[in-house]
Amino acid sequence: MIARFEKSRRYRPLLALGLAAGGLLGLAQPASADEGGASVYLLGSGGPGTAIMPPVKGVFFSNTLYYYSGEAGGDKQFPIGGSVVADLNAAITADFATVLWVPSTDFAGGTLALGATLPVGEVDIDVSGVISGPAGGGVGVSRNDSAFVVGDPLVTALLGWSKGNYHLQVGAMVNLPIGDYRKDELANLAFHRWAADTSVAATWHDPASGWDVSGKAGVTFNGTNEHTDYNSGNDFHAELAVEKAFSKAFSAGVQLYHFRQISDDSGSGARLGAFKGKASGVGVTAAWNFQLAERPATLRLRAFTEFDVENRLEGDSIFLDFSIPLVMKLPTAP
């Protein structure tokens, strides 16, 4: 077995990049428009190597520790948990565990991957003014809500192709509204609505020079929260990353993202009307590739700050990603 994983060293760069791309396609993002100021797709997850698929069949694991802190002034209102609130501050510390299964490297001429993600974490919300409660009556008092909760699980399907240094990937992700949704409360990770995200990603990765240029764009189609009768509008997201490998072990680069809601919120719960939002973010990223239990593993740190924000919180995020193959079906040596 050790000999088999020793032979896997030559797959280290692609395994690390492909796992990072496949494991972080869709997570809760507490910083854009839609109900609760939250979108299903995690802005910033389409980073370096986002279109590169694992080059071998197997089962892969990734875990993301995530921290977000954002705020909106008293002149801005947000619909959360059936209430309309103002002067909002939010902090989220969460863990997102992902398992990715690659059953075929020759499906429609490319590599097929199927995955699932489960978010768990602590959400802390402070508001200085509750404009109206779930029943519509005015409250007008400050409020804090904090809870450790389980979010909605997400399932993912990816299909990618490679030719030389060029990689192309199409993906789909579905949010399953079966998480621990706290009705009429402020602190939630679960969305309590169906949602589907479709995306296209491309990567130019040159192992000789160490440069990687990756881009990704997609649309999230949101359903209705039946409890609050809130139908969140559809969202567009786009990302760009440029990274340089300085050695076989270390690489670093920059990332950009842009988010824009492309259709109106609706339903009786959408008391603020269309509530269409937009946001942009800029950040840095660095990765360390190493061996763990004879397997190629990767740690990646990301940090973002937001600007050009409308109808949403504005804040900063930090996430630490860890990825490793659990099982690899390596090619037989000639």
Backbone angles phi, psi at 207, to 5 degrees: -60, -30
- One-letter amino acid identity for 76? K
3-state SS class at 154: strand
3-state SS class at 85: strand
CA 81 to chain centre: 22
Q: What is the pLDDT of residue 253?
A: 98
Structure tokens at 79: 């619909």
Residues 6+ apart with CB under 8 A from 292: 324
CA distances from 114 to 57, 59, 75, 109, 329 (A): 11, 10, 43, 16, 16
Unique residue bearing structure tokens 């910083």: 31
Residue 137: which pLDDT band, with cuts at 50, 70 and 90? low
CA distances from 7 to 23, 292, 330, 333, 334 (A): 24, 14, 8, 9, 13
For 62-115, how does the pLDDT look when each residue is reduced to its tens digit (9 = 90+)?
999 999 999 987 677 878 777 788 788 899 999 999 999 999 999 999 999 999
Determine the Cα–Cα distance for residues 312 and 90; give it in Å rounded to an integer.
11
Cβ proximity of 148 and 95 under 8 Å: no
Residue 4 confidence (pLDDT) above 60: no
Residue 310: Cβ within 10 Å count: 14
For 248-274, how does the pLDDT look when each residue is reduced to its tens digit (9 = 90+)?
999 999 999 999 999 999 998 888 888
Q: DSSP H helical segments within the chain, as ranges? A: 2-7, 12-23
pTM for the full predicted model: 0.88
Q: How big is the chain, counted in residues?
A: 334
Determine the Cα–Cα distance for residues 210 and 139; give it in Å rounded to an integer.
57
Residues 6+ apart with CB under 8 A from 64: 23, 24, 27, 95, 96, 98, 319, 320, 321, 322
Cβ proximity of 80 and 185 under 8 Å: no
For 155-176, how does the pLDDT look when each residue is reduced to its tens digit (9 = 90+)?
999 999 999 999 999 999 999 9
Mean pLDDT of 191-206: 96
Determine the Cα–Cα distance for residues 221 and 261; give it in Å rounded to an integer.
10
CA distances from 215 to 127, 172, 240, 274 (A): 36, 16, 4, 29
Cβ proximity of 115 and 20 under 8 Å: no
Unique residue bearing structure tokens 């990302």: 239
Q: What is the pLDDT of residue 107?
A: 96
Determine the Cα–Cα distance for residues 92 and 105; give it in Å rounded to an integer.
37
